[in-house]
Amino acid sequence: MLIELLTLFPDFFSSPLSQSMLQRAQSQGAVEFRILNLRDFTEDRHRVVDDRPFGGGPGMVLKIEPLVRAIRAVRDQDPEVRVILLSPRGFLLTQDKAKELAELKHLLLICGHYEGVDDRLRFFVDTELSIGDYILTGGETPALVVVDALTRLLPGVLGGEGAVEEESFETGLLEYPHYTRPRDFEGHEAPEILLSGDHQRIARWRREEALRRTAEQRPDLLEKAVLEDEDREFLATLTDSLQKD
């Protein structure tokens, strides 16, 4: 997979893309990252990429000309590239959306900045994507979130089979709790069942803990989760217990 990032701040990505899972994914050949400097697509001597907004108001707006030149340059190389603008008004990034995007071969992520981009850019991108309902300084941080979410889904990146399938949101639930040595830390003990060696009981305990966490912390997820009859029975018991408390 090739992921290109169009930004005013190329150095922003230097360290994150060279660390941990993202670095391993590149060394394995699962993904390639290319950083494009928006100023390289200007045509004036001062490499200006922003201007004051029509109608007045605070801040500056990214000009449309260099943005479109950059998009066209990438599309000239690969007409099939999916062009995505990181924007607070875009579709929300979810695990299902990440899976969909991870199936693609080539992405161009556009990082906005300042007060935003000239709105006419929407005629030149394929979609807009948001990572949540809050304000950030620019699109670089959201772009990194997208990069991380997609890269870990690529075949072989996380190693063992099932490494992705058991994580939060993959089953529609939050992930079950994890423990490791020491067994007892300052009076807080790891659950006895995890040391029992009974894998069937452990699997059920983990499922119930995932259900419990989701019901307590993100009950909205249960509306779309795929649940078995046994899961529903446990949730009913859990609800009765919470009401009594």
User: pLDDT value at position 168?
Assistant: 61
Q: Is the pTM of this model over 0.75?
A: yes
Domains and CATH numbers, the chain: 2-151 (3.40.1280.10), 184-244 (1.10.1270.20)
User: pLDDT value at position 200?
Assistant: 96
User: pLDDT value at position 162?
Assistant: 46
CA angle 74, 80, 81 (to 5 degrees): 45
- Contacts from 214-219 at CB under 8 Å and sequence distance 24+? 214/173, 214/174, 215/239, 217/174, 218/174
160, amino acid identity: G
In 3D space, the residue among 37, 66, 40 whose CA is nearest the CA of residue 51 turns out to be 66
Mean pLDDT of each 10-residue bin along the chain, 245 residues long: 98 97 97 98 96 93 97 98 95 96 98 92 97 94 98 89 60 92 95 96 96 95 94 92 68
